């Protein structure tokens, strides 16, 4: 292969994680926080941070940390070449170290012996596990920022549409009267709860040495006031990670907990996306995504306005369970003190989960903040079922008032009314149900006015307003002060 061809391949490799076939995560932010360059930078940050820790503990010569920090500039390294050479040792730390040591030697013009501070008493897993925790921490912080925007928007929708009637659906069919405010509050609940779980994560430093016994660290600190444990804590503080009570080379709860939390966020996003996709169908038309130039277009049909934000978010949600499962599968197969492949299988699954969650978080925030709501269409769809939608409430209110007739209880008589109504054409069911119900329930028992009250969808909302309020109130850290629910809805009364 010619040098020019090799150069072209390397240039291509530099863009290999641009996201051409993963548009949900194709963004400069995702690439900056989870791409190959970000992994490289995190590994170098660990090595540089470790040199600083050693120098402060008088276990490296003065000036070593500055030399290593200069040598740890990611721009000095051939990313594609490191990736290829990683096949030789099974991980990218090994070839990167060769380059780091070479650069340290070249930059150590004052002869401070900085090379002795590079990777001393560490093992590749210490560095890569810690680097991935650093990568995850940075990504999760960005995800949480978008989650706050999403939950604020959803809380505002819940407040604004507390009285907006719509139809609840069960097993694809109309079930009971509902409110869009409660639907938005339930969306909020899923995202806020998942966000709380994500925010509670710790990102621990890894430091165990070759076999997790800290043997080399013990030798390193012999005669020093430092111990391997104090050095590990100092590295955690240097990098802004959590200290770890012990090496966790084969105890992967830090990774599986992270994977579970990321998947939970995407689960909550997936629920919202699925609802928006259905509710934005032209024949439903209760919602629409925010408009943006060039979004939702079709290559063949100029009239199409595809709900692309929801499509992309849903694509991420559908990928997350298998990626989280891969992390659990790996954790269950961490044999010996250093596994033979299980550890390696974590890396792409974890990074893909991080990328998908961060990408989806940005799209979900834009969707929530710009969602278009059409109350008239919601009422139109609610009215499709007509008064039959109130059959449960009618039965509960009227059955006890009806005397037994022909051996049939009041409840059975009202069920007969429903069954006979369902035998008629859908267009005739509203009038048929009213007539049959009036015939079955004597006016002396229930007046026309009371019967119409029972057939008003706004009369059978249960505790919808209070449920929405309780959900939002349970997550005050996700609600800006201006998004507090309207006090008129705090008494639990149902409004239509």
pLDDT in tens, 421-454: 999 998 899 999 999 999 999 999 999 999 999 9
Closest CA to 38 of 105, 138, 112: 138
Closest CA to 390 of 493, 463, 462, 466: 462
Distance CA 443, CA 351 (A): 68
Distance CA 23, CA 263 (A): 18
Question: What value does the mean pLDDT of the chain take?
Answer: 92
User: 287-288 and 173-179: which strand pairing?
Assistant: unpaired
What is the model's pLDDT at position 16? 54
Distance CA 493, CA 496 (A): 10
What is the model's pLDDT at position 494? 32
* Catalytically annotated residue among 76, 295, 338, 495: 338
Q: Three-class SS string for 346-362?
A: HHHHHHHHHHHHHHHHH
> Using 50, 70 and 90 to split pLDDT, how confident is the model at 2?
low
C-alpha 110: how far from chain center:
49
Mean pLDDT of 357-365: 98
Whether residue 259 has pLDDT greater than 50? yes
Active site residue 338: yes
Whether residue 29 has pLDDT greater than 80? yes
* pLDDT tens per residue, range 107-138: 999 999 999 999 999 999 999 999 999 999 99
* pLDDT tens per residue, range 189-207: 999 999 999 999 999 999 9
> Using 50, 70 and 90 to split pLDDT, how confident is the model at 496?
very low
Whether residue 388 has pLDDT greater than 70? yes
> Using 50, 70 and 90 to split pLDDT, how confident is the model at 11?
low
Q: pTM of the entire structure? A: 0.92
408: β partners: 405
Active site residue 70: no
What is the model's pLDDT at position 174? 95
Q: Under a CB-based contact definition with an 8 Å cutoff, are residues 145 and 359 in contact?
A: no
**Tokens at 207, concatenated:** 């430091």
* Catalytically annotated residue among 224, 298, 447, 488: 298
179: β partners: 165
Name the CA radius of gyration of the chain, rounded: 31
């Amino acid at each position: 292969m010619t040098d020019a061809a090799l150069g072209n391949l390397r240039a291509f490799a530099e863009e290999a994680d641009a996201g051409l076939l993963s548009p949900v995560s194709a963004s400069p932010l995702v690439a900056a926080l989870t791409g190959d360059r970000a992994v490289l930078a995190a590994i170098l940050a660990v090595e540089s941070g470790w040199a600083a820790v050693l120098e402060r503990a008088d276990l490296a010569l003065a000036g070593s940390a500055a030399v290593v920090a200069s040598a740890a500039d990611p721009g000095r390294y051939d990313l594609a070449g490191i990736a290829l050479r990683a096949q030789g040792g099974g991980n990218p730390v090994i070839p990167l170290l060769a380059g780091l040591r070479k650069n340290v030697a070249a930059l150590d013009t004052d002869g401070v012996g900085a090379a002795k501070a590079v990777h001393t008493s560490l093992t590749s897993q210490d560095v890569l596990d810690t680097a991935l925790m650093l990568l995850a921490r940075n990504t999760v912080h960005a995800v949480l920022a978008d989650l706050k925007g999403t939950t604020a928007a959803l809380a505002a929708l819940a407040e604004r549409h507390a009285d907006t009637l719509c139809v609840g659906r069960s097993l694809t069919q109309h079930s009971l009267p509902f409110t869009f405010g409660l639907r938005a509050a339930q969306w909020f609940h899923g995202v806020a709860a998942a966000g709380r779980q994500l925010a509670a994560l710790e990102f621990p430093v890894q430091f165990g040495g070759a076999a997790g016994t800290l043997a080399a660290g013990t030798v390193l600190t012999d005669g020093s006031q430092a111990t391997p444990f104090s050095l590990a804590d100092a590295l955690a503080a240097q990098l802004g990670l959590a200290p770890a009570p012990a090496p966790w080379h084969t105890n992967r709860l830090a990774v599986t907990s992270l994977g579970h939390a990321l998947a939970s966020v995407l689960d909550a996003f997936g629920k919202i996306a699925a609802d928006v996709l259905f509710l934005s169908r032209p024949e439903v038309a209760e919602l629409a995504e925010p408009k943006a130039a060039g979004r939702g277009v079709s290559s063949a049909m100029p009239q199409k306005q595809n709900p692309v934000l929801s499509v992309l978010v849903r694509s991420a949600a559908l990928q997350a369970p298998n990626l989280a499962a891969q992390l659990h599968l790996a954790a269950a197969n961490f044999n010996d003190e250093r596994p033979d492949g299980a550890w390696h299988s974590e890396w792409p699954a974890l990074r893909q989960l991080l990328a998908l969650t961060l990408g989806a978080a940005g799209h979900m925030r834009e969707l929530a903040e710009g969602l278009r709501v059409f109350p008239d269409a919601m009422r139109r769809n609610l009215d499709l079922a007509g008064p039959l939608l109130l059959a449960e409430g009618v039965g509960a209110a009227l059955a006890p008032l009806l005397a037994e007739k022909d051996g049939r209880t009041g409840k059975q008589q009202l069920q007969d009314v429903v069954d006979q109504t369902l035998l008629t054409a859908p267009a005739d069911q509203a009038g048929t149900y009213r007539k049959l119900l009036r015939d079955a329930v004597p006016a002396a028992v229930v007046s026309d006015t009371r019967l119409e009250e029972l057939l008003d969808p706004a009369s059978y909302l249960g505790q919808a307003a209070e449920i929405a309020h309780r959900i939002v109130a349970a997550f005050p850290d996700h609600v800006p002060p201006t998004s507090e629910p309207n006090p008129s809805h705090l008494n639990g009364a149902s409004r239509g």
